[in-house]
Amino acid sequence: MSTLESTVDKAASTVVPLHPLLARRWSSRAFDPDHEVTDEQLTALLEAARWAPSASNTQPWRFAVTRRGTTEHAMVLDTLAGGNQTWARDASALVVVAARTTGTDGAAQPWAVYDAGQAVAHLSVQAQAEGLAVHQMGGFDRDRLTTVLAAADVTPLVVVAVGLRDEPARLAEPFAQRETAERVRLSVGELLLPVRPQEGG
């Protein structure tokens, strides 16, 4: 465990143990502006996403990968909401995630967005295994991001900042405070739905 991990311990609070890759993942915003992600790491993240499950193996997920310091990266960064830009610019890469919501036959793919979420979750788990942090953003100019992507037949969903976690102190407020705040979730009980015996069933 690095010094950094020990000063900002945001491990999930659970009543039974979770695998550390899940328990220790969290969406940080403080990224090391000098860190470079390797080609092998980016490939591993895409491989993780690629091998996610999807409805009838439709694999609706698509990705655009841009590294900090490139023209393409600046174009993607510029589509982000202003608050996100202030910290996301320091991440080593920005990965645009989009989904094909209609199949090649023109039929709707009802699970395309759901499955894209699964793929990015797998990407995030692999990032954690690589010692990288990720933060997904839904705050961007959808029209401009669609223009930036050369493919007209996909729907942009999120932009994922990928990089090496850094000290919270490098963030401006309100982000510095959020970086060290306790992580909160609904309880397991609050997530459970009853199954209702049916009258006359």
Near its own copies in 157-196, by CB under 8 A: 157-158, 183-186, 188, 191-196
DSSP code of residue 106: S
Task: Single out the segment in contact with its own copies by CB under 8 A; choices: 1-9, 36-44, 85-93, 162-170.
Answer: 36-44
The footprint of its own copies on residues 58-97 (CB under 8 A) is 59, 61-66, 71-72, 75-76, 96
Among 46, 85, 86, 101, binds its own copies (CB under 8 A): 46
Candidates 34, 47, 143, 177: give the one binding its own copies (CB under 8 A).
Answer: 47
Q: Side-chain half-sphere of 35: how many Cα atoms within 13 Å?
A: 19
Give the count of residues interacting with its own copies (CB under 8 A): 79
5, 103, 110, 143: which one binds its own copies (CB under 8 A) = 110
Do 135 and 161 touch, CB atoms closer than 8 A? yes
Identify which range of 28-36, 84-92, 110-118, 163-171 contacts its own copies by CB under 8 A. Answer: 110-118
Q: Per CB under 8 A, which of residues 4..23 are in contact with its own copies?
A: 12, 14-19, 21-23
CB of 54 to its own copies, least distance (A): 9
Tallying the residues shown for the chain, one arrives at 201
| Spatial CA neighbour of 135 closest among 3, 50, 10, 15 | 10
**Which of 4, 32, 36, 50 touches its own copies by CB under 8 A?**
50
Query: What does the longest C-alpha to C-alpha distance in the chain come to?
Result: 66
Region near its own copies per CB under 8 A, out of 28-36, 83-91, 118-126, 162-170: 118-126
Which residue in the set 148, 159, 161, 162 belongs to the binding site for its own copies (CB under 8 A)?
148
Tokens coding 112: 């395309």
25: its two tokens: 């993942």
Q: Using CB atoms within 10 A of its CB, is residue 56 exposed (0-12), middle (13-18) or buried (19+)? A: exposed
CA distance 164 to 28: 10
Rounded to 5 degrees, φ, ψ at 71 are: -60, -40
